[in-house]
Amino acid sequence: MYLSYRLRALAAGAALMAGAALAQAQQALPNVVILATGGTIAGAGASAANSATYAAAKVPVDKLIAGLPELSKVATVRGEQVFQIASESFTNDNLLTLAKRVSALAKQADVDGIVVTHGTDTLEETAYFLNLTVHTAKPIVVVGSMRPGTALSADGALNLYDAVNVAASKDASGKGVLVTMNDEIQSGRDVAKAINIKTEAFKSQWGPLGMIVEGKSYWFRAPVKKHTMQSEFDIDQITTLPAVDIAYGYGNVPAAQYEAIGKGKAALVHAGTGNGSVADRAVPALQKLRSDGVQIIRSSRVNTGGFVLRNAEQPDDKYDWVVAHDLNPQKARILAMVALTKTRDTKELQRIFWEY
């Protein structure tokens, strides 16, 4: 009888120790907040065969987290539903609201990393905006999916698992805002959506920063452009964004397009062919807009590797124009909006485009 009592006591003690060890392990896990904004990663199709036909922004963040019990071994995770929209409907106000929430969370001692779930259509724009305006060294990871969770071979669950792993990793600190898609870790500055129906949709002309394999990050390079902690822009000091639009260059493009789109704007991004080329008939329209105070920014519409050289194709110094460097038109628009909250000087704007 004594032996039986002794065995029960030992078992109870072991259970208590195991429970204490589990509680300590959970206490030691990093704290990651998932901010959900909608998109395909929260989408649902009518059947498992629907990978491209579906309704975006249907699944709430709590269900996304509950569907990934593996996250509990990576971090202590909680979610907030910031928006529930398809990302093509994102507005400047959405950008400001999201960035201010990310900034507020980053200041909290009990937050080690932040994940933002996002639709892929404008994911690259939001990632770059956060990269420019949120002052923190803590990992911020933006993630989406190309297929809804209801589809065969859905990619959202693994993408989100990878994102939480990166956000929970000390190795990701100080590398700016990151994007995890298709097992790759991309810079939020460089990455762009290159195709719309494949899981390897997001690419950078400079290559990924690293890879994620079974939850472990492997790094190969680091970003050199200014971002987050080094940025001269701070979301906590930005309340509105200037009006910046994009005009698309193509064969037979009418000059009237530039006049109509650029009128009254703070800046106009020209999505030019090749090296940001401008049709001869469009040059006077852009010159007129510049004389009216509209900043003109030459970018390239080249899908996977635009790079605009100053004073090549057009005499930018003479016309007082800015070139977008290697930024695509949509990212040039993001940087122009942010930069114009600080300066309207063309030389200063060009410096910012070189440095960011």
- The annotation places the binding site at 87, 120-121
Catalytic member of 120, 126, 150, 346: 120
Binding residues for substrate: 87, 120-121
* Cβ contact 294:262 at 8 Å: yes
Which among 322, 310, 311 has a CA at the least distance from the CA of 346?
A: 322
Distance, first Cα to last Cα, the chain: 76
* Cβ contact 37:97 at 8 Å: no
Scan for tokens 């070139």, then name that residue. 323
- Dihedral of alpha carbons 52, 53, 56, 58, sign: negative
φ and ψ at residue 26, rounded to 5 degrees: -65, -35
Scan for tokens 């910046």, then name that residue. 244
> Is 40 a catalytic site residue?
yes
> Is 91 a catalytic site residue?
no
Q: Count the residues in the chain.
A: 356
* Cβ contact 296:270 at 8 Å: yes
Task: Kindly state the tokens that stand for 221.
Answer: 């390079």
Which among 181, 341, 159 has a CA at the least distance from the CA of 267?
A: 341
Active site residues: 40, 120
